[in-house]
Amino acid sequence: MTDRIAEADAALKAGRLEEGIALIEAVLTDEPGSALRLYQNFTSLLYRKGMFEKGAQWCRAGLDVYPRDADLWNVLGVCLRRMGEPEQALQAFEAGLKIHPKNEGLLQNKGNVHNDLKDGPAAVAIFSRLVRNAPANAELQRALGRGLWRSEDYDKAEMRFRLATRLKPDLIDAWLDLSALVAESHTADAAVAVLDEALKANPIPRLMEAKAVAIRRSQKLRQAEAYLKEILESHPDEAWAHYQLGGVITDFDRPRANIHLRRAVELKPDDLDYRMALVESLVRSRHGDEAAHLDAAYAELKAARALGTPSGAAQLKVASEVLSRVADFAGLDEVCDFQETGRMWAEQGRHTALLSQLSRVKTPEDRDELIHQHRIWGEFVQERVKRYPLRRPKAPRPDNGKIRIGIMSSDLRMHPVAYFSLPLFENIPRERFEVYCYSFYQGQEDNLQKRITSLVDVFRWEQEISDFDAAQMICDDQLDMLIELGGSTHMNKLNVMAWKPAPLQASWLGYPHSSGLDTIDHLILDPYLVPPRRELLIEQPLLMPSSWIAMGELAFPDRTMAAEPPVVANGYVTFGTANNPYKYSREMVAGWARVTAAVPDSRFMFVRPEGGTAAFRDNISAIFEAEGVSRDRLRFEAVRGAHMPFYNEMDISLDTFPQTGGTTTCESLWMGVPVVTLVGAGLFERLSCSILGNAGLHDLCTGDLDGYRDAAVRLAGDVERLRKLRRELRPTLKASRLGQTKAFAADFYKMLDAAVVSRQVQPAA
C-alpha cells in the first residue's frame, strides 16, 4: 500500500489529478480498512477539487470503517451542501456533533446550512455561540448577520455586517451582504452609499459591478449608464461592464444594448448569464430585421443550452419566451414545467413570466394552479412592502365635490392599451371627476402621450423612480381610486399596488387574469367575462353593463376594406391569425390544422413577424403536416404593425385558445373578418366571447374543440354569410357599445362613481 500511495502522491504533485485519484481509489477498494488519515485526506482533496459526489461516496465508505470520525462526517456534510442536499447535510453535521459537540467546524458548517435554508433563528443560535468565543472573527460576524437578516432583525443584522467590514475591510462578501440588506431595509440609494464606502477600501471590479446593479435597481438608468461608460473608457475589455451596460440601456437603446451584450459574450463565451442576457435582448429587438434578431436569439439559446441547462427564474423566463415565439413546444416542455417553473417564477417575484402560463392551461386543476401561483406572487410582494410603509397624508385634501381617479400605466402612448383607454380621457365628466395619470415609460414622448396629457388634470411621467417612491407619489395625490392598466407588462409597476396608495384600487384592460394582490379590490369586467366559478378570480368583479372595452377611433379608423371575402375570387377559404405566438400551444395549432384539413383546398395564413424565421415556419408546418395539411397550404407574412391590410386576404380568423385574443379580435371584426373562438372557464378564455357577444355573433363562441371545428367549417361553407359579414360587421360594431365611445365612457364613470361612493358610506371596520 505504501508504494501505491507514494505513487499517487507523485502523480498529484505532478498535476496528474485523475491518475492520482484512480490510484487512491484502487488502494481503498482493495484495502477498505486503510488508515483513517487516508480517508480524511482523500475526501478533503475531492471536496477542494469540486468533486462533491465522489467526495460524499468516499466519506460514506470511510464512515463504514470509522463511524465515529467527526472529520469525515464534516466533509460529508459540506459535500452534500454543495450537491444541493441541505437536509442530508444537516444530518451529517448532527452525526458529527454527537461525537464532538463542541467541534466549531461542524457547528459553523451546520449554521451555514441553516442560513442557506433561510432558517434564521437556528443560524443565530449557532453563530451567537461561536461569536462569543471569537468576537474578532469577521466571517463569524458576517454569518451571524445573515442569520439575523433571515430572522428579519434588520438593525442587528446591519450592525453585524458593519462590524465584519471593520474587522476585515477586504471581506467582500460582508460588504455585499451589507449593501443588499440596506437596499432591502432602507433604499437603493443607501446601498449605493455602502458600496462607495466599500470601493474606497477595495477598488475591485466585483464591487464596481455591485454598485452599477444598485444604481440600476434605484431606477436611475442614465446614472448607471454614465458610471459604466466611465469604467469602460479605462477598461474597455471588462466583460462584466459590457454585460451590465447592455442591461441598463435595453429599455431606451436596444441596438446599442445588443452591441455591448455581444461584446460581453465575446470576452467571456462560457458565461451562461451573459449569453442568456444577449438572448433576452435579441428576442425583444424590434428594430431592423426582427426575424433575423429572433433567429439569432434562437441560435444563441442553443449555444447557451450547450453550456448548461438554463436555470433560475430569469433564465427560464427568457428561454420560454424564445421557444414560444418560434413554436418549439417540445423545447418549452423540456425547459419549463407548468407547476414547478410557474411557482418558481411566483416565489421570486417574476410576475411577467406568469403571463406565458395562460396558454399552457389544459385542465380545471391547471386553472386553480394558476390562481395559486398568482397568490404566491402576491404574498411575496405584499410581505416585502410591509418593510417600507408609506407616509400617509395627515390632512384630507380640500373637498371640491369631485372624485379623483388615478390611471397608472406606462402604455399611455402609441400602444393598444392607450387606444382602448382614450375614450375615457376624451369624455371625462369634468363636473364630477378629476383624472390623474402615472407613466414610467422609458422611451420618448409621442403624439398620443401628448394628447392624453392635454386631456387629463395631471399627467405624472417619471422615468427614474423606484416602486416605493412611485407609490408615495401616488399616495401624496390623495386619490379616491387608483386603476392600473398594465398588469406586469414591460415598464409598468404593478408592485406599486401592493402599498395600496389609494383607498380603492382596481385592475382593468392590460392583464387577463387576477394579478394576485389582495390590495387590489376590483377587476373591471363585463357580464361575458365573469368566470362561472368565483374561485377563478381573486378580486371582486366591478361590472360594466355590456362591454368592458370600447374601440376608439384612433385605433379603428375607416381603413380600406375589401368589398368581398377573398374566397369569392380565390375559390378557396383562407383561415388566418395575427395573434402573438406566446398564446400558442401544440394542441391549439393542431386544432387549427384539423379545421384547415376539414375544408378542402383551404389555406392558413400567419400574419406575424415570427413568420420570417425558419424555425417558426418549420415547427408550425410540422404540426399542420401531421394533420394532413401540406406545407404549400400555409402562408407566412412577416410583418409587425402593418398587419391590418392582410385581413383583406383572410376569410375567417381562428382565435387562439385557451388564451383568446383581444385587440386582434377587434381588429379582425373591424375589417369584416369573423372570428371563431373557444370559450373556457377562465377570464383569459373569455375575452373574444365578450367582443363577439357584444357584436351579436354568439354562434361563433363555442364550448369545446369539436364545436370550434364545426363552427369554423360551417362558416367556411357559407360564402353568402361571409359576404354579408364583410359588409355589415363594421357598421354593427359602430352601433354597439364597442363603438359607442361616449356611451361607454359614461357607463365607465357611472360605475366608478358608484364604487367610490359605496366605499365612502361603508362603516369603518
132-170 tens-digit pLDDT:
999 999 999 999 999 999 998 999 999 999 999 999 999
Amino acid identity of residue 397, one-letter, is R
The C-alpha atoms of residue 570 and residue 722 are separated, in whole angstroms, by 14
126 contacts: CB under 8 Å, gap ≥ 6: 107, 108, 110, 111, 114, 147
Structure-block grid coordinates of residue 138:
469577521
Contact 373, 345 (CB under 8 A): yes
Structure-block grid coordinates of residue 152:
428579519
Give the Å distances, CA to CA, from 185 to 75, 157, 388. Answer: 36, 11, 7
- Residue 763: per-residue pLDDT: 55
Which phi and psi angles does 622 have, rounded to 5°?
-60, -40
Residue 745: count of CB within 10 angstroms of its CB: 19
Dump pLDDT digits (tens) for 84-136: 999 999 999 999 999 999 899 999 999 999 999 999 999 999 999 999 999 99
Which phi and psi angles does 11 have, rounded to 5°?
-65, -40
The C-alpha atoms of residue 447 and residue 442 are separated, in whole angstroms, by 15
The C-alpha atoms of residue 550 and residue 545 are separated, in whole angstroms, by 12
Report the DSSP beta bridge partners of residue 575: 604, 652
Give every strand in the sheet of 603-607, ordered side by side: 634-637, 603-607, 574-577, 652-654, 675-678, 701-702
Q: Under CATH, domain 566-739 is a member of which superfamily?
A: Glycogen Phosphorylase B; (3.40.50.2000)
CATH assignment, 403-543: 3.40.50.11380
- Residue 257: per-residue pLDDT: 97
Q: Which residue ranges of the chain lie beneath pLDDT 70?
A: 1-2, 761-765
The C-alpha atoms of residue 508 and residue 417 are separated, in whole angstroms, by 10
Contact 620, 320 (CB under 8 A): no
Contact 652, 715 (CB under 8 A): yes
Query: What 3-state class would DSSP assign to 69?
Result: coil
Structure-block grid coordinates of residue 52:
462533491
- Residue 760: per-residue pLDDT: 76
- Residue 765: per-residue pLDDT: 45
- Residue 182: per-residue pLDDT: 92
- Residue 582: per-residue pLDDT: 95
Report the DSSP beta bridge partners of residue 572: none
Structure-block grid coordinates of residue 21:
485519484
- Residue 303: per-residue pLDDT: 93
Query: What 3-state class would DSSP assign to 376?
Result: helix
Count of alpha carbons within 13 angstroms of residue 357, beta-carbon side: 31
Give me the torsion for CA of 752, 756, 758, 762, rounded to 10°: 160
Query: What 3-state class would DSSP assign to 523?
Result: strand
Q: Could you report how far apart the first and last alpha carbons of the chain are, in Å?
A: 81
- Residue 351: per-residue pLDDT: 94
Q: Write down the residue that cell numbers 454569518 correspond to.
A: 143
The C-alpha atoms of residue 243 and residue 180 are separated, in whole angstroms, by 20
- Residue 565: per-residue pLDDT: 98
